[in-house]
Structure 1
Amino acid sequence: MEESRKKLLIQSIVIGGIVGSLAVAFKSKSKMCSCLSSSYEKTTEILSFVNENRAEIIGQLKTTSAKVTKAMDETNRDLKAITENIKHLKNSSSQMISTVQETKDALINMYVTGKQNFEAEANQKLEDEKNA
């Protein structure tokens, strides 16, 4: 009898496991079906909203597109103006550097010439004093 009890117990456990698995699977399946059904309903609502308001949506998209295009055009003009200003600044800076270099060279030449003239006059005075 013990052996038949064991078999009966094992059969009961197996049958209970199968029934439990089926119950869980069925609940899971029903949840998945309800989720898919809900998603279908929401998608249908969204599509009907888009269809009903198509003209307004397209108008809003066109307006937004025009604003973006205008902003990009203004930005492009600003960038061109900045580029021109940078080129002008570069040219002005180059001219300023060139002018400063020329002025420096002229001052050095004046200093050297003045120094040579001063030394020549001083030497001339010394010779005049020696000869006198």
Structure 2
Amino acid sequence: MDIAQHLHWTLAWVVLPLAALVAASGALRTDLSRPWRQLLACAAGGVTMVLLLRLVRHGLANGALPLSDLAGLHDALLFITLPMLVAGVWKHLRTPTVDPPAPPAPPREALLQQRLDSAEAQEAADKYTRD
């Protein structure tokens, strides 16, 4: 295998599946806007279809079936989904994850009232009045 075949194999069977997984995880983020999540979902699905078509092409390469239509569909789908994948993954990786807001703290008076109503506070008050 020469270097071009190694690079092609790495791109097709390592980089694209990993990018599809990253795109799918980005599609599940709730802090991204809906169009970005939809773009990531379409890109992940498109790349998955490209990989499945590549498997079919390799599987049928040994048979007597003509592959020209399948190759054209594979290439067209790759050229459509690759820019979507790059843009979506770039947005997913560049957008910081926003932590959910903390629940609001109870008012200070409510906390004080809780402490005063506790059994320990009542015991301390009784001991203070006895002395």
Provide TM-score, normalisation by structure 2.
0.25
Provide TM-score, normalisation by structure 1.
0.25
Greater relative contact order (Cα < 8 A, sep 6+): 2
